[in-house]
Amino acid sequence: MYTNLQECLDFVFSIRTSVYKRTPLEMIEDILADLGNPHHNFKSIHFAGSNGKGSTLNAVDSILKDANLSVGVFTSPHIHRVNERIRINDVQIPDGELLEYLNQVLEIVETKYDGKYPTFFGIITIVAYIYFAKQQVDVALIETGIGGLRDSTNVITPLVSVITTVSYDHMDVLGKTIQEIASEKAGIIKPGVPVVSSVKNPEAQQVIRDTAAEKNAPLQQLEDDMKVSNVRLENGYQVFDLEIGEERLEGIELSMFGTHQAENAGLAVTAVRALKPTFEISDEAIYSGLKKAKWAGRFEKFGEHIVIDGAHNPEGMTMLLQTLTAVYPEYNYHFLYAALEEKDNASSVSMVDQVASTITFTSFHHAGATPKDKLLDYSSHIEKSAADDWKAVIDTFKTTHQANDVLVITGSLYFMSEVREFLLQTTK
């Protein structure tokens, strides 16, 4: 098998999923069974949602680490390198183990399944499950890739299932209606396993309720069973109060901004409380963990005049613009936008048009990236333009911006990975 990690990853990235007339997840389950079912050997929390699942997972991670637990995390996409997807207490899986476990999976597929591979995401999910079992984590936080019901991660029985939002996204895979998409997200709900949800869309919320009731899964729903209130900015932090049933936590401080992040944090606390009696998490760990929690590429500031945010659908864009106007009132907003072709860019661009002083469209290194001129056509803004060199756009802004200007870079998490690496190298 492979002796060089990059060569191995190049192969895995090149895989095209084999066509099977098999039930969803059967291939993943078969390979895991060949490996001794490592996913049965650690406790987990499962996260799904169109937006917010990464931020909510990150908040839970920060709380549990402050409670001195060994916390495995599986997220996607990666920002800089594949190892970021699999980590324990912020330490990424070492190259040696990543290569070893990839080789194990590849060998099984070649010898037992005639080289008919699952997706890249399926393979890396299996690797994560092997690693977490080997390292004997106290709990693993598992983020779905797309949807939930048929997602490669959905072979676990977690301690808690977390569903953040449901909106129109990945419609080619998940369905054309909110109900269909919600059904896919609700697919992570397991019999008797507690569910916490911040889904607001009434139709989607009803699907979550019906699925939870059908599976006898206790459900806690935002606004009904948990309430976030009194959201404000104090001393450089976003602060809010939280009620969960009869319990009240006041003055919770966040390093992340936007009402949606307060709701994500409230959902995270509710999920942590649902871990009882397996884990008893103190209020101190909740307060200290949330104060530290940050999530790369989500309203992340580079200095005082550049913000990057991976808003990739209309719901995410709504949240970004609400946060932007709250944190930077009375500023001129200059947007740099690039996105994947599969997204509802027409709607997102229309929203940006309403608040932008200028908007520049570009593209990036991804097979699914939308051509910049196509994005340009979506915009009706009088100060719109297209640029091949987005790095030059950023450099020009740095040297010419005024005190009340802010550059907002958005449209895709994949684009954020390239931008973030550039900004880390060039921003003091």
Pairing between strand 306-309 and 300-301?
Answer: antiparallel
Q: What does the pLDDT read at residue 250?
A: 97
Q: What share of the chain is helix, strand, coil (3-state, %, to 5)?
A: 45, 20, 40
Q: Are residues 305 and 288 in the same domain?
A: no
**Domain boundary pick from 241, 267, 292:** 292
Q: Are residues 162 and 54 in the same domain?
A: yes
**Domain boundary pick from 259, 292, 325:** 292
Pairing between strand 237-244 and 247-254?
Answer: antiparallel
Amino acid at 26: E
**CATH number, residue 364:** 3.90.190.20
Is 386 in a helix, a strand, or coil?
strand
Low-confidence ranges of the chain (pLDDT < 50): 19-22
238-266 pLDDT, tens digit per residue, is 999 999 999 999 999 999 888 889 999 99
CB 353 within 8 A of CB 326: no
Q: Are residues 282 and 380 in the same domain?
A: no
Q: What does the pLDDT read at residue 298?
A: 85
Q: Are residues 272 and 345 in the same domain?
A: no
Helices 95-112 and 120-135 pack at an angle, to 10 degrees, of 120
Q: What does the pLDDT read at residue 307?
A: 96
Q: Are residues 338 and 253 in the same domain?
A: no
Nearest alpha-carbon partner for 269 in 284, 255, 282, 286:
286
Q: What does the pLDDT read at residue 21?
A: 42
Q: Are residues 315 and 253 in the same domain?
A: no
Q: Are residues 250 and 335 in the same domain?
A: no
Q: Are residues 57 and 197 in the same domain?
A: yes
Domain that holds residue 277: 5-292
Q: Are residues 331 and 307 in the same domain?
A: yes
Q: Are residues 65 and 208 in the same domain?
A: yes
**CATH number, residue 180:** 3.40.1190.10
User: Which tokens sit at 276?
Assistant: 């009882």
Per the structure, how many domains does the chain have?
Answer: 2
**Domain boundary pick from 292, 318, 336:** 292
Strand order in the sheet with 160-163: 91-92, 86-88, 71-74, 139-143, 44-48, 160-163, 195-197, 219-221
Q: Are residues 170 and 107 in the same domain?
A: yes
Strand order in the sheet with 247-254: 226-234, 237-244, 247-254
Q: Are residues 322 and 192 in the same domain?
A: no
